């Protein structure tokens, strides 16, 4: 199991800053655990959901998950995923974030209850996993699907290239 950080949403940060803070803290946690045995590369990523200026991280419990899903049903919301990359050679952390928009269909109470009973909401920002059963609730996406899942692949690839990752070496 990967090392855990406190992922309580800080009300003083905006969604982008919150996601970036979580991603950087994950990288720093690994750095502190490894101390003098640092690898050349460490990656950390995190995702938050934003709607009506509220930030939804991972739900605390089933009731919190239900509250989130009720807020998100029948509307669009932002999904912000940040990725932090530690370059061990340079001893630097590069962090970037990607904003996508997901639109949910209008969900009935029975549909929300069904989804909650799957348990899939646990450990997921906004109480859903688009790559799982909640994908059937999604009526539209603007942006990066891989970022919504949790790792913006294109941006991560660009970060690696710009930080001198030795492709082909």
When computed from its CA atoms, the radius of gyration of the chain, rounded to whole angstroms, is 17
Q: Which is the catalytic residue, given 6, 10, 21, 46?
A: 46
What is the distance of C-alpha 114 from the center of its chain? 24
End-to-end CA distance of the chain: 31
Rounded distance, CA 102 to CA 90, Å? 36
C-alpha angle with apex 86: 81 to 92, nearest 5 degrees? 115
Taking Cα atoms as reference points, which of 86, 80, 81, 6 lies closest to residue 42? 86
| The 92-104 sheet, strands edge to edge | 54-56, 41-51, 76-87, 92-104, 138-142
Catalytic (active site) residue 64: no
| Residues annotated catalytic, as ranges | 46
């Amino acid at each position: 199991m990967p090392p855990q950080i406190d992922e309580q949403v800080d009300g003083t940060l905006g969604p982008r800053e919150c996601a970036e803070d979580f991603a950087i803290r994950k990288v720093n946690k690994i750095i502190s655990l490894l101390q003098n045995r640092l690898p050349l590369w460490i990656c950390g990523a995190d995702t938050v959901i934003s709607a009506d200026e509220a930030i939804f991280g991972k739900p605390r419990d089933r009731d919190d998950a239900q509250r989130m899903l009720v807020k998100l049903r029948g509307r669009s919301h932002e999904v912000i995923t940040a990725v932090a990359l530690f370059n061990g050679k340079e001893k630097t952390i590069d962090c970037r974030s990607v904003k996508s928009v997901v639109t949910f269909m209008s969900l009935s109470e029975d549909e929300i209850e069904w989804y909650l009973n799957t348990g899939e909401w646990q450990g997921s920002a906004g109480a859903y996993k688009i790559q799982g059963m909640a994908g059937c609730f999604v009526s539209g996406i603007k942006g990066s699907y891989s970022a919504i899942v949790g790792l913006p692949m294109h941006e991560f690839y660009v970060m690696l290239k710009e930080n001198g990752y030795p492709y082909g070496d």
